[in-house]
Structure 1
Amino acid sequence: MIQPNKAALIELANYKMPFGKHKNQFLIDIPEAYYTWFQQKGFPQGKLGSMMQQMYDIKINGLEELIYTIRREF
């Protein structure tokens, strides 16, 4: 069984976009279309890109409520 990394999920739920037109918005609040564009063009390198890829996967699988719940509780 896969055990999610609790600290990583809490960080993902509370992480804000550091640049661009969605600057200072929580990653979960950014429209799925933005992530789809990055999926096609390539996500940034490093931690932000990894978090954006994870958020894309969460959004396309309809798991946003999980992130909202984590953000409320932590």
Structure 2
Amino acid sequence: MEDNQQHLLEQLANTKMPFGKYKGKYLIDLPEFYLVWYRNKGFPKNKLGEMMHLVYEIQLNGLEDLVRRLKI
């Protein structure tokens, strides 16, 4: 895996939701229904939205445990 991809996954594993009902929860641990809701509504148009979309794709493919292992 390239260094920048690994860095992105490490960042994803260690980033917490900054607002809302799940404030303080790691993005990788967000409930699937919440990410599906955002998928239908539209993810935020910023870095957080990009990361949430990536978590959605990771969960969709059942790979979240691989990312959770990267938590510091």
> Cα offset for 1:30?
1.0
Equivalent residue, structure 1, for 2:37: 37
Residue type of the partner of 1:55?
V
Equivalent residue, structure 2, for 1:66: 66
Determine whether 1:14 maps to 2:6. Answer: no
| TM-score between both structures, scaled by the size of structure 1 | 0.89
Distance, in Å, in 1 between the alignment partners of 2:45 and 2:15 is 16
Unaligned runs of 5+ in 2: none
Equivalent residue, structure 1, for 2:53: 53
CA shift digits 1:12-55 (9 cap, x unpaired): 00000000000010011110000000000000011000000000
| TM-score between both structures, scaled by the size of structure 2 | 0.91
Unaligned runs of 5+ in 1: none
> Cα offset for 1:68?
1.2
* SS state at 1:10 partner: helix
Q: CA RMSD in A?
A: 1.3
